[in-house]
Every structure is written in C-alpha cells, then in structure tokens.
Amino acid sequence: MSPTPNLLIRDAELQSGARVDVRLASGRIERIAPGLPPRDGEAVIDARGRALSVGLHDHHLHLMAHAAALESLPCGNPVIGCVTGFSELLLMRARMEDPSAPGWIRGIGYHESVAGPIDRRWLDAVAPRVPVRIQHRSGRLWILNTCALRRLGVDENDAKSSRGTPLERIDGRLTGRIFDGDEWLSARLAGTYPSLARTSEALARLGVTGVTDAGARNGRGEFGHFVAERRGGRLKQDVQVMGNAELDGLADVAGIRVGPTKLYLCDAELPSFEDFCHAIARSHAAGRPVAIHCVTRGELIFATAALRQCGPLRGDRIEHASVAPPEGVELLRELGLTVVTQPHFVLERGDSYLDEVDREDLPWLYRGRGFAEVGIALAAGTDAPCGELNPWTAMSAAVSRRTRKGSLIGPDEALSPAEALALFTGDANDPGGSSRRIESGAAGDLCLLNRSWEAALGDLAAVGVDATIKDGRVIWRRS
C-alpha cells in the first residue's frame, strides 16, 4: 500500500464543544489544536464546525451473510417489474461481472410464472460465461447453468462426475436442476465467499471503521477470506472475527483479528450442561473469551449458570440478552459479563413483539437503562443482515424505545443520546468499556457528521456522515 498522505481536518467540533483542527499522519492522530497551518501536499477537509466522532464499531454483525443478501438477485415476479423480463435482468446482472474472473450470480425466489420451467440450457443461452444458480421460491430446487456445474466440479459429458449427486438427468442429460440438494451444494460451495466490497462501502457511508463478525461457523477459511478482502482493498474496516475453535492461536493479520468463541444456544435443543461448560473451558484455556447467543430467559439462565460453573474470563459476553429479567441482570452483573444488544429490534420488530412476546417479558426486552444502572458493560451491534445495517437508527431506538407504529416498549430502559452513541464507540476488545477518544497518538479512525454535536444528539436517526477516515485515509466522502 502507498504511504498514507497527511490529512488535515479543519474546524471540526469535538463532543466537548471545542472547535479544533485535527492532523492525521502515518495513520494516526498527530495533533489537535485550533488554527493548524496546512503543510505542503497535505489533503484538507474543511469541517466548518460539523461534529467529528471516532469511527463507529459495530459489535455484532454478519459480513458474509450481508454481502450474500446484497448480491442475491430477486427473481420473483413483483420485484422484476421495471425490466421487461427475467432474461434481461439476468443478462444485465451478468454484464456486471468481471469477464476474466466472474463471481457467482445467485438468484432467489424464482417461480415458473416468471419465465416457465427454466433449466441449464435456458440459463446458458442468457449467461453462458458466468456461474449462475437460481433458487426456486419453494426453497427445494436450484437451477444451475453449465458454467456453474463446472465450477462445482461436475462435467456434463462425464456421467461419473455426477453419479451419487442430487443432479437431475433426463435422457442422460443434466438439466441443471437440483432437488433437495442444499447439503450437496453447500459442501461444494465451501470456500467460495462473497465479495465484501458493497457491504464495506455501505458501512463506510455510515461512519463505521470496525466491526465484529459474529458468525458461529467462522473458521480458518472465513478468516482467510477477511484477510484477502482487506488486503485487496475491498474491505476497508478492521474486523474482529468470532468463530469456532479453528481460530484458536491465529495471529492478527492486516486489521483482521481473532475474537471470542461464538457459542450458540437454542431453547428447543439446549446442549448438555456438561458439554457446554466444556466448550467454555476449552475456549478460556485457549485464551479466548466466549460470546454466547441468548435470546430467551431460559438461554440467559443456562449461559450464566455455565459461566458461573467455569468461572468467567475477561471479555466474556452475552449476545442479544433479548429478555433480561431482574434475576438475569443480577447474574450478568455478578459475573462481570458484557452485553451486546440490538436496540433497533424494538423499532424493527417491536410491533410484532407486542403481539407475540409474553406480557411478563415485555418490560425486559432489549434493555438499556436496566443494564447501565447496575454497571453492566453495554454495547450494540446491528446484527445485519438480521437487522438493518444502520447504527444511527439503532442509537435512536435506544433513546426513543419506539416501535415503527409508535408504541413504546420498556420506556424506562431508554438511554441518553450520549449513552446510545457510546454503544458503538467502544473498543472491539472492550465493547461497553470506555469510548475511544479523539486524542493525539490515537488511531486515525474518525467520522465527520453532517451537523453539529447538538443537532446530532438531538436526533440520532437523522445523522448523516460526510466523511469516514480509517487509519488516516478517507475511505468514504460525500460528494
């Protein structure tokens, strides 16, 4: 990478209200003072009094799932609408691929009413040079073109290469259709990961300079993909990678570092208590804290009981803690656990929670104040693509506690705007600890908002980001 040029941000407002110039050099904040004279060859951003924040860190999301969802082509009738037909849509999408190294086109929601019972030949006629797989709306059928079959190691002329597979043959010819073949397909696709470029750009536009990927299945392959995407410049944020035991002992590379072991709990099929304690102990022995997915009361009690049995390690955290009754909060506090919450689910899903969640659980949903007032470290993540990617919406929901239809859920749990901002300004390794600061020597990870601090904190949902700076480089700027 070329050396980072110096950058001078002039007349920015810090959260303290001070208006200063901020100089970045060699990827870090070099100096903060009013009226710094620009140096030769230094890039200058004139902030004109707008608010300067540390870059945000999203403490829980799923980069690859978000990227895959962004890249999936909706193939159902209603979405197509604006183009004249499915073949035209596919052709347009195929043209967007790099001809020398085309990526997969993954279509979802197809139905025969769109273009009939399509097959391999049909797809080959439209997109012969790009691997295409289209999922039927039923979820039970995939349709692949010849290029896709070859990518998966299937030779249409060699019957042996498809023997024992769920690939359909009619008169000895592969149709490209696969019925109930998800397992076969995902085994073959292992190691093909989506480009993170669009997800990374979307994050940069929102002022996000670092994320924690919360994938429970992340192993060496996924870690390697993050590293490759970061080195290739497609991924501009640092990533803390949660995942499985394969990540034990992996060294940090290029802003990609190993995070806690992600442990998944589901009320309907809880593991044996002993096995679960064993998984925690193994992670702790490897020097890695655990991050335990808990969305119900039962899961929270199970997780905290296991952590009490094993003894907590600094950095152990509970993901979601969606329902946290007082006895659960007490256990979290006692064990010194961190909670990583999703306040925007109150907004995005609140109206259905009001219908579906037990009345007695409603006051304990996605709590804020209840954790903060007893000193539990609290941070937030968007859980994208399960939630919207926008941390500003999440902050706003933590303050308003309003559903989309305007109902209130747990109004006593509301945080102040500054507390809501702090959900996203902690360190990756210490979510909910003290916020990173704009000070000389600190990493050059910043975002310049499109308004003053007073206006930003007055309406967090309305905040826009004018520039995002990662390691002293502008990674996004509003044109």
Quote the least distance from Cβ 215 to Zn ion, whole Å: 8
The span of 21-29, 345-353, 383-391, 467-475 binding Zn ion (CB under 5 A) equals 383-391
Nearer of residues 340 and 420 to Zn ion, judged by Cβ: 340
* Residues in contact with 254: Cβ distance below 8 Å, sequence separation at least 6, in sequence order: 227, 230, 231
Nearer of residues 131 and 343 to Zn ion, judged by Cβ: 343
Distance CA 221, CA 190 (A): 9
Quote the least distance from Cβ 381 to Zn ion, whole Å: 8
Distance from chain centroid for Cα 285:
28
Nearer of residues 214 and 398 to Zn ion, judged by Cβ: 214
Check: CB of residue 252 under 8 Å from CB of residue 224: no
Nearer of residues 56 and 292 to Zn ion, judged by Cβ: 292
Quote the least distance from Cβ 267 to Zn ion, whole Å: 16
Distance CA 307, CA 169 (A): 53
Distance CA 4, CA 24 (A): 9
From residue 426 to residue 465, the character string flagging contacts with Zn ion as x (rule: CB under 5 A) and all else as - is ----------------------------------------
Nearer of residues 316 and 383 to Zn ion, judged by Cβ: 383
Q: Which of 162, 141, 40, 55 is nearest to 446 (CA)?
A: 55
Provide the β-strand partners of residue 106.
133
| Own/partner pairs, 327-334, CB within 8 angstroms, 24+ separation | 327/301, 328/297, 328/300, 328/301, 328/304, 328/364, 329/367, 329/370, 329/371, 329/374, 329/376, 330/374, 331/300, 331/301, 331/304, 331/305, 332/300, 332/304, 332/371, 332/376, 333/374, 333/375, 333/376, 334/308
Quote the least distance from Cβ 358 to Zn ion, whole Å: 23
The span of 8-16, 205-213, 308-316, 379-387 binding Zn ion (CB under 5 A) equals 379-387
Quote the least distance from Cβ 288 to Zn ion, whole Å: 18
The span of 176-184, 193-201, 264-272, 380-388 binding Zn ion (CB under 5 A) equals 380-388
Q: What is the DSSP letter of 166?
A: S
Nearer of residues 20 and 214 to Zn ion, judged by Cβ: 214
For residues 204-243, which are near Zn ion according to CB under 5 A?
Answer: 214
Quote the least distance from Cβ 397 to Zn ion, whole Å: 17
Quote the least distance from Cβ 216 to Zn ion, whole Å: 9
The amino acid sitting at 88 is E
Backbone torsion region of residue 324, taken as left when φ is above 0, otherwise alpha when ψ lies between -120 and 50, otherwise beta: beta
Distance CA 53, CA 291 (A): 27
Nearer of residues 214 and 323 to Zn ion, judged by Cβ: 214
Location of structure tokens 């600890």:
433
Nearer of residues 383 and 466 to Zn ion, judged by Cβ: 383
Distance CA 228, CA 103 (A): 15
For residues 233-292, which are near Zn ion according to CB under 5 A?
Answer: none
Quote the least distance from Cβ 321 to Zn ion, whole Å: 13
Quote the least distance from Cβ 130 to Zn ion, whole Å: 31
Quote the least distance from Cβ 349 to Zn ion, whole Å: 14
Nearer of residues 80 and 214 to Zn ion, judged by Cβ: 214
* Residues in contact with 121: Cβ distance below 8 Å, sequence separation at least 6, in sequence order: 176
The span of 101-109, 282-290, 375-383, 462-470 binding Zn ion (CB under 5 A) equals 375-383
Of 30, 58, 229, 383, which lies in the binding site for Zn ion, with binding defined by CB under 5 A? 383
Quote the least distance from Cβ 386 to Zn ion, whole Å: 6
Paired sense of beta strands 19-25 and 28-33, if any: antiparallel
Count of all residues that appear for the chain in the document: 479
Q: What is the DSSP letter of 218?
A: -
The span of 120-128, 145-153, 364-372, 381-389 binding Zn ion (CB under 5 A) equals 381-389
Nearer of residues 318 and 467 to Zn ion, judged by Cβ: 318
Nearer of residues 215 and 336 to Zn ion, judged by Cβ: 215
Location of structure tokens 């998984």:
279
Count of residues that interact with Zn ion, criterion CB under 5 A: 2
- Class of residue 192 by CB neighbours under 10 A (exposed 0-12, middle 13-18, buried 19+): middle
Q: Is the peptide bond before 385 cis (omega within 30 degrees of 0)?
A: yes
Should residue 384 be labelled a site residue for Zn ion when binding is judged by CB under 5 A? no
Radius of gyration of the chain (CA): 24
Nearer of residues 146 and 342 to Zn ion, judged by Cβ: 342
Paired sense of beta strands 141-144 and 132-136, if any: antiparallel
Quote the least distance from Cβ 347 to Zn ion, whole Å: 17
By CB under 5 A, name the binding residues for Zn ion: 214, 383
